[in-house]
Structure formats: structure tokens, C-alpha cells
Amino acid sequence: MNAKLGITIMPIVFGLALLVVLILGWAYYQTQEEQGQSEDEKTRLVLALNVSHRDRPFFVETIDAFMKEHPNIEVEIRNIAGVRYYQKILIMIAGNVAPDLMWMGQSFAEFAYKGAFLDITDRLKDIPIDEYLPPALSWYRMNGRQYGVPYAIHMRIFAYNKKHFDEAGIPYPSDDWNFDEFLEITKKLTIDKDGDGKIDQYGFRGGLHRATFGAEIFSDDGQLALCNTPEMVHFFQTRLDLAFKYKVQPTLEMRNHEGRNTVMDKYPPFAQGRYSIIDAGNGDRAVMLEKCADIDWDFVLCPKVKRQAQWSSSAAIVISADTRHPDESWELCKVFISDKFQKSMALSGMPTNIKAAEEVIAEHRGTPSNLKAVLRAYDFLYPTPRVPNLKELEAIYVDAEEKIMLRMATPRDALDDAQRKMTLAIKKLNERSR
């Protein structure tokens, strides 16, 4: 092509570029027009969920009932189940196609700090707010404003195999047990059955919760890294001792052999009798009832070390700050806050409505017989603090945790390193916020 060609083709280039811009602009305009208003003038709401195939039918049923009651509202469910849920939501928000309502859990603060949610503080008068667990409400509060009301609480709770206790002649553990009792029990339950020098039945699989040691990764406001406190060092040293000194639980390498600690990885070995006590979740009850149907198991609270504490998380449906239909969205949101919906979801998480939770306990029959432990734990729930850069800070902690548990570094060295990195990350976050 010669130099003259440049002059010749320039109008064509600009013409094509203009055409592309016009097409894109028209497509964007059409998307905006269609979003929220369907052909028959119904208000259209998009609800993004991150729920399992077990929970999805409850949502579908609830939404069907809602649409019957509100014939002018159409709700579309987009279930983006999986670990990349938050990423996809972020990209939808950034692309200006945020769903009207969305499921939120641990990463609530990361979005709330960015102004992604509708403030519902003034709308709370529509619901009996006093019936809800105050700490659970506070998890969805930011600078005194409420952005959501969780419908379920998930907590880490221990599950134990009753048969193993019976065989060892040990009484079942009680919810107020302490670490020394826990250690003695796990020692007795750790058995080399065939005498080949390899342990066939471990007393414990999982992790104690750092909060029981009085340790936390960072302060509640996320401004102070707390990785290398004496409590944290004690916590990790105890975990190492359980695996390498007392050998009552498998090492991290051995656990990793079984998978990445997902519900599909940890319950089958428990059901097969490889472990006597595991850290389970109250939200995994449906999975456990299915996977561990052949054994007799029950729940017990995590043992007290320095204090009693249960790691917890929660789930809520929040409204996008960008929704064109805040009133309709709030109408739908109220359905998920209702005690009726919360009770229907109880297998996947205990209601935050205390009355509904008590009813679930009262109506419960069968396994686990100690379901009331979940309600008892409402007094000492310790969720990971809600901070804007949770993932980044948690990644630093997890890296240190792996180095310690794989014995690549001593707890002191790994935690000092994590402290330095986290302090820097917090400083960077503050700079970003300015």
C-alpha cells in the first residue's frame, strides 16, 4: 500500500469507526430502555443469587408466590453459584447492569464501602426489627445506616460420630467443654486399628476457631493488623501440636489429599469413620443428612479455650443503589426477611429472626438432636470483621497459615511477615480511600 492510500482510506476508517460507535450506542440505549420495563409494562426485577441447587427451589417457590401477589412485577433469577460470585457481581455493577437485588454474604462491606447498596434504614419500620438478632443486623450496617437484613446465619460447629464415642466408652461432649477436655477426648479417639503404624481413625479433622483463643486477624474497623499477637501465635502453635505433637488430627498435607475442604470433600471421610469429630457448618445440614445418613452424628459447640466463640457468617438479600425500582425491590426484599422464608431455609442457615429460630428448634426432630446448640451460640458469634479489602487481607493470612501448617516457617516468623504485609495493605487501602 502506498502513502496515497492513507489519504484514500482515512474516510473509510473514520466511517467504519463511526458506524461501530453508533451501533454500540444504539445497543446500549436499547439495553437501558429494556432494562426494568418489559413489553407488557410490568416492572421487571433482576435478582442475583449465590445459592446451591438445594436452596434454589425455595427461592423459586417464594418468588412465584410473590409474583402471584404482585402481578405487575416480574422477577428474573440469575443464580451465579460459586466462588466467583462476587467478581461477577462487581463486573455487572461496573458495567452498569447491576441486578436490582443481590445475595450478599461475607463480602458485604467490600461493596457497601463503594456505595453499591440502597440504604434501607428508613424502610425498616415496615418490619418487626426488634425480633431480629442485633449482632446479625449490625453485620449489614455501615456508618450507622442499614443496607440489609440477613435471612440466615451460618456458623462453624463441630459434628461428632456417636458410635466412636460409644466404642471408646467416652460420654458425648457437652456444649460447655473446654480445650483440655477436647484434647483428651481426641487422644482417646485417635486409633491405629490394624496396628500397621498408620492412624486409621483420627480424633479430629478441621480447625479450631482463632476467636476462641482471643485472636483476630485485624481489628473490627480494619485499621489495625493483629496477625502476630501472642494469642495468634498460641492459636497456631496449638494447631501444630494437634497435628504433629499429639497427632490427633491429620497434617495439612494429609487433609489436602482429601480435597480443598469443601462440603463434598470433608463429609464423606467423616461418614466413612475416618474422623470422630470434624468442624462442620450448621448450613451444611442438608448435605450432612444426605452424606452421613449411615452414621449417628450430632452437633456440639467448639470447645472453649480462652473464651467461647463460634465463627459465623450470614446471608442477606440487598438492594442495588442503582435500581430503578427501589419500592418494588423493597417489597421483594421483605419477603426474604420474613420469618416464613427464614424458616423454610433453616436447613441452610439458622434464621436471624429469633422467634423463627426458636420455632425451628422446637419443631425439629431427629438428627442432629443437639440442634439447639446453634441457637445457644447466638450469644457468642464471631464473624470475620467487615472491612473493605477483606479478600486482600484474608489472602495474606491464608498464605501465612499455609506456611505454618506446612511447616515452611515457624508461627512467629510467618505471622510477623503477615503482620508486615497486612499493615502495608491497610496503609495502601487508606491511601486509596483518600
Partner 1 sequence: MKREQDITAFVFLSPNIFGFLIFTLFPVLAALALSLFRWDIFNAPKFIGLQNYLDLLGWVFEDKSFQWIDPDFWKYLGNTIFYLLAIPLSMAASLFLAIILNQKLRCRIFFRTVFFLPTISASIGLLILWKYLYNGDYGLFNFLLSNIGIDGPGWLTDYHWAKPSIMMMMIWGSMGGVAMVIYLAGLQNIPRELYEAAELDGANGWNQFCHITWPMLAPTTFFIFVTSIIAGFQSGFDAAYILTQGGPAGATTTLDYYIYNHAFVYFNMGYASTIAVVLFFIVFCVTMINWRFGGRKVHYG
- List of residues contacting partner 1 (CB under 8 A): 1-2, 4-5, 8-9, 12, 16-17, 20, 87, 90-91, 93-94, 110, 114-116, 252-253, 256-258, 260, 389, 391-392, 395, 399, 402-403, 406, 408, 420, 424, 428, 431-432
- Are the C-beta atoms of 361 and 135 separated by less than 8 Å? no
**Closest distance to partner 1 from the beta carbon of 395 (Å):** 7
**Closest distance to partner 1 from the beta carbon of 82 (Å):** 12
3-state secondary structure the chain: CCHHHHHHHHHHHHHHHHHHHHHHHHHHHHHHHHCCECCCCCEEEEEEECCCCCCHHHHHHHHHHHHHHCCCEEEEEEECCCCCHHHHHHHHHHCCCCCCEEEECCCHHHHHCCCCECCCHHHHHHCCHHHECHHHHHCCEECCEECCCEEEEEEEEEEEEHHHHHHHCCCCCCCCCEHHHHHHHHHHHCECCCCCCCCCEEEEECCCCHHHHCCCCECCCCCCECCCCHHHHHHHHHHHHHHHHCCCCCCHHHHHHCCCCCHHHHHHHHHCCCEEEEEEEHHHHHHHHHHCCCCCEEEECCCECCCCCEEEEEEEEEEECCCCCHHHHHHHHHHHHCHHHHHHCHHHCECCEHHHHHHHHHHCCCCCCCCHHHHHHHHHEEECCCCCCHHHHHHHHHHHHHHHHCCCCCHHHHHHHHHHHHHHHHHHHHHHHC
In the complex with partner 1, which residue's Cβ is closer, 355 or 420?
420
**Closest distance to partner 1 from the beta carbon of 402 (Å):** 4
In the complex with partner 1, which residue's Cβ is closer, 113 or 179?
113
**Closest distance to partner 1 from the beta carbon of 297 (Å):** 22
Residue 124's nearest CA partner among 107, 144, 100 is: 144
Q: For the chain, what is the largest distance between any 2 Cα atoms, rounded to a whole number of angstroms?
A: 95
**Closest distance to partner 1 from the beta carbon of 410 (Å):** 14
**Closest distance to partner 1 from the beta carbon of 278 (Å):** 17
In the complex with partner 1, which residue's Cβ is closer, 12 or 362?
12
In the complex with partner 1, which residue's Cβ is closer, 148 or 388?
388
**Closest distance to partner 1 from the beta carbon of 417 (Å):** 8
**Closest distance to partner 1 from the beta carbon of 94 (Å):** 4
In the complex with partner 1, which residue's Cβ is closer, 256 or 410?
256
In the complex with partner 1, which residue's Cβ is closer, 252 or 302?
252
In the complex with partner 1, which residue's Cβ is closer, 52 or 256?
256
In the complex with partner 1, which residue's Cβ is closer, 133 or 227?
227
In the complex with partner 1, which residue's Cβ is closer, 20 or 129?
20
**Closest distance to partner 1 from the beta carbon of 217 (Å):** 16
